[in-house]
């Protein structure tokens, strides 16, 4: 019954021009609230559905954006991608998702002119195989929002949390509980390991501020932030002559792996070894014990990424790049606080910061 309803039908019922209806439906120009309500009433009454394909063809756009992440089997990226899909859907956009496995050449594809052949209008990109300097080689005309630890050079938007501060707070939490042999699992001292390096920096800063020297043998590097890395690193730490009494893990998956080894060795958490993770993934809330974690505002990151990308896509002139700092909080749970922990308790809340 409503398939044949056209924009002209809505205009006739509302008593306005077709251009006014188009402006209301597509948000092309400011319209008074009274006029918007009048047009919307006609749209609802007739059941009008905009022809998104025709609109995209007319504008030279595909109506799709790409989300490029290293791994889809990592819960953090899965949860973040889900948030991006929901935010894009509200704006009438579809989302194409690609997993790069951290392969530098594959990641470069999405920053090149060849990417225009892949039928998307812009990219939300979380690089792993590319370093900061590689982003300067991208196609300058590609609308781009970067997530993670790469900093904007002014030609794209960057959204991330303050990894140094978050890691310092996580380590200070453990030191504040009286732990003095705090290990760190997840350092990555190589060219593309910026995220891990910032977390190590925060770990070291917490020790410096507390006047406690870092025991270098307690800083363990891992190739990835996954369960097996956490399990093997924890086993190595427990075999030391002086094993740790606490461990800061650079992801919740690393923390879950560490918990597995601790349980296998018959150690109690947190009585023998306290554990802090990073990312606030759902699995960490339901582990035994639940993991104290750094919780980035993934909803804000996803919604802001879509908002900034669509602003770039819709602009006929270059949009200055922004550095957007998403908030985070440390959520104490039983892996450090024992039975007294509650999810309602929060340490260190950082507000969003834009510049």
CA separation, residue 133 to residues 130, 151, 276, 300, 355 (Å): 8, 10, 32, 27, 21
At residue 80, does pLDDT exceed 60?
yes
| 293 and 227 in a common domain | yes
pLDDT confidence of residue 153? 67
| 229 and 108 in a common domain | no
The DSSP 8-state label assigned to residue 178 in this structure reads: T
105-114, 152-161, 279-288, 337-346: which has the highest mean pLDDT?
A: 279-288
Q: For the chain, what is the domain count?
A: 3
| 270 and 167 in a common domain | yes
Query: Using one digit for the tens of pLDDT, what is the confidence trace for 22-60?
Result: 778 766 566 788 888 888 898 888 888 766 555 555 556
| 133 and 239 in a common domain | no
Q: Torsion over CA of 198, 204, 208 and 210, rounded to 10 degrees?
A: 110
**CATH number of the domain bearing residue 17:** 1.10.260.40
Query: Using one digit for the tens of pLDDT, what is the confidence trace for 284-341?
Result: 999 999 999 999 999 999 999 999 999 999 887 888 889 999 999 999 999 999 977 6
Provide mean pLDDT across the span 261-278. 98
| 210 and 107 in a common domain | no
| 266 and 124 in a common domain | no
| 286 and 253 in a common domain | yes
127-136, 154-163, 285-294: which has the highest mean pLDDT?
A: 285-294
Q: Does residue 251 lie within any of the structural domains?
A: yes
2 phi and psi angles, rounded to 5 deg: -105, 0
pTM: 0.79
- Contact between 64 and 94 under an 8 Å Cβ cutoff? The reply is yes
| 197 and 140 in a common domain | no
Q: Does residue 2 lie within any of the structural domains?
A: no
Q: Does residue 345 lie within any of the structural domains?
A: yes
The encoded tokens of residue 21 equal 């209806």
CA atoms of 274 and 283, how far apart (whole Å): 18
- Structural domain containing residue 155: 59-161+298-326
pLDDT confidence of residue 348? 45
**CATH number of the domain bearing residue 218:** 3.40.50.2300
Residue 2 CB burial class (10 angstroms; 0-12, 13-18, ≥19): exposed
User: b vs e for 199-228, b when ≥16 Cβ sit within 10 Å of the residue's Cβ?
Assistant: bbebbbbbbeeeeeebeeebbbbbebbbbe
């Amino acid at each position: 019954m409503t398939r044949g309803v056209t924009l002209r039908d809505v205009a006739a019922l509302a008593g306005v021009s077709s251009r006014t209806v188009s402006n209301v439906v597509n948000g092309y120009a400011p319209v008074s609230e009274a006029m918007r309500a009048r047009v919307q009433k006609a749209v609802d009454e007739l059941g009008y559905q905009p022809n998104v394909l025709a609109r995209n063809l007319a504008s030279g756009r595909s109506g799709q954006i790409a989300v490029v992440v290293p791994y889809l089997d990592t819960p953090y990226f899965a949860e973040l991608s889900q948030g991006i899909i929901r935010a894009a859907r509200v704006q009438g956009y579809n989302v194409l998702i690609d997993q790069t496995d951290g392969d530098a050449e594959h990641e470069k594809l999405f920053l090149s002119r060849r990417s225009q052949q892949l039928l998307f209008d812009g990219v939300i990109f979380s690089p792993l195989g590319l370093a900061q300097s590689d982003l300067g080689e991208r196609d300058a005309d590609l609308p781009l929002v970067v997530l993670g630890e790469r900093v904007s050079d002014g030609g794209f938007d960057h959204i991330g949390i303050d990894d140094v501060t978050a890691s310092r707070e996580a380590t200070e939490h453990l030191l504040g509980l009286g732990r003095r042999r705090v290990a760190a699992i997840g350092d990555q001292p190589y060219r593309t390991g910026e995220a891990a390096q910032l977390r190590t920096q925060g770990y070291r800063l917490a020790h410096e501020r507390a006047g406690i020297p870092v025991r270098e043998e307690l800083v363990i590097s891992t190739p990835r932030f996954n369960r097996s890395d956490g399990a093997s690193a924890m086993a190595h730490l427990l075999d030391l002559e002086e094993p740790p009494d606490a461990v800061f893990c650079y992801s919740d998956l690393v923390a879950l792996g560490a918990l597995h080894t601790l349980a296998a060795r018959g150690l109690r958490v947190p009585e023998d070894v306290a554990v802090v993770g990073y990312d606030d993934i759902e699995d960490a809330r339901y582990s035994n014990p639940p993991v104290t974690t750094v919780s980035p505002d993934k909803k804000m990151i996803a919604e802001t990424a879509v908002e900034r990308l669509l602003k770039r896509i819709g602009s006929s002139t270059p949009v200055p790049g922004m550095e957007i700092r998403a908030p985070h909080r440390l959520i104490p749970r039983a892996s450090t606080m024992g039975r007294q922990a509650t999810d309602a308790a929060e340490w260190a809340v950082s507000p969003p910061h834009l510049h």
